[in-house]
Amino acid sequence: MPEKTSRFDADLVRAQWDFAADAYASFQDAGDDYYRYELFGPAHVELCGDVRGLRLLDLGCGTGYFSREMSRRGAIVTGIDISAGQLGHARRHERDEPLGISYAELDAASLTSAFALGQFGMVTACLSLQDMPNPQRVIAAACEVLQPGGRLVFSISHPATDTPLREWQTSSDGRRYGLTIGDYFDRTAVSYDWRGTPSRYAFRTTAIHATLADWFGWVLGAGLQVRGVLEPRPSVAALQRHPDLEDAAIVPHFLLVDAVRPA
């Protein structure tokens, strides 16, 4: 169960993601993060479309998963993250498979002091904006570093289903069939304990819960226009490979938004 918490600031985020770095990296490296590989990752790549030749900034890049996806498709990528521990793994991947990605340790809230305005053709944030203490400010800053006509394409945990109160309903045979949600209108920080399968992945992170209207208000308020929205659901083949994904066929787990800075 998520737990509401009062503290959510840059120091806490840095400390939590540093602590989580090795476990998070091995979770991904072992292929166990199949919600990523089967669901939100491919959907996010699809929403970005043709990125060849684009100067692309990846916010909250973590171990560099999405930075690499974009670089392999021809973008010229800079990845930033607040956590040196996460970046250590991103740089390890870059050493093992050089793609020409630049990484920098930076709080995304300070984007405009680190990058010239209007220089990127695309800004991405793969499952990271909700982990930042001030996503509204980050979205506004992302708009400023975009060229006119450039796009912000982000994925977040779904605000309508990843609520502070959240309980799966299961039938007598243990199958999930529904989700109880509550406290949807609470704008609050929420702590999550990552203790999935296998249980060696044990760490805590904090994220913000805001409503759907908040998120779209932040995008529109920054001066961006929404071009597309996705709520990915698992394919039949993905469900066969990973039956656990069934819960993502019952309710959406992720929301993806494609927004453009008007030319």
Ligand X SMILES: C[S@@+](CC[C@H](N)C(=O)[O-])C[C@H]1O[C@@H](n2cnc3c(N)ncnc32)[C@H](O)[C@@H]1O
Could you tell me the smallest distance in angstroms from the CB atom of residue 19 to ligand X?
A: 11
Closer residue to ligand X (CB): 60 or 150: 60
**What is the pattern of x (binds ligand X, CB under 6 A) and - over residues 27-66?**
---------------------------------xxxx-xx
Regarding 17 and contact with ligand X (CB under 6 A), the answer is: yes
Query: Is residue 8 a contact residue for ligand X (CB under 6 A)?
Result: no
Residue 78 found at the interface with ligand X (CB under 6 A)? no
Identity of the residue, 83 or 163, whose beta carbon is nearer to ligand X in the bound complex: 83
**What span, in angstroms and rounded, lies between the C-alpha atoms of 143 and 119?**
10
Nearest-approach distance from CB 177 to ligand X, in angstroms: 28
Q: Which of 45, 54, 75, 81 binds ligand X (CB under 6 A)?
A: 81
Nearest-10 crossing angle of helices 135-145, 212-221: 30
Kindly tell me which residue out of 38, 69, 94, 131 binds ligand X, with binding defined by CB under 6 A. Answer: 131
Q: Note whether 128 and 157 are within 8 A (CB).
A: no
DSSP 115: S
How many angstroms separate the CA atoms of 192 and 205, rounded? 5
CB of residue 7 vs ligand X: minimum separation in angstroms?
Answer: 14
Q: Which residues ranging from 170 to 189 are in contact with ligand X (CB under 6 A)?
A: none
Q: Is 132 in the site for ligand X (CB under 6 A)?
A: yes
State in angstroms the smallest separation of the CB of 16 from ligand X.
8
The Cα–Cα gap between 252 and 78 comes to 30
- Stretch binding ligand X (CB under 6 A), from 104-112, 190-198, 227-235, 247-255: 104-112
Does position 127 interact with ligand X (CB under 6 A)? The reply is yes
Which segments of the chain does DSSP mark as H helices, in order? 10-29, 34-35, 41-48, 65-72, 84-96, 111-114, 135-145, 212-221, 236-241
Which tokens is 176 given?
């999930």
Q: What is the closest distance, in whole angstroms, from the C-beta atom of residue 206 to ligand X in the complex? A: 9
Give the burial class of 166: count Cβ atoms within 10 A of its Cβ; 0-12 exposed, 13-18 middle, 19 or more buried. middle
Closest CA to 61 of 34, 32, 12, 94: 94
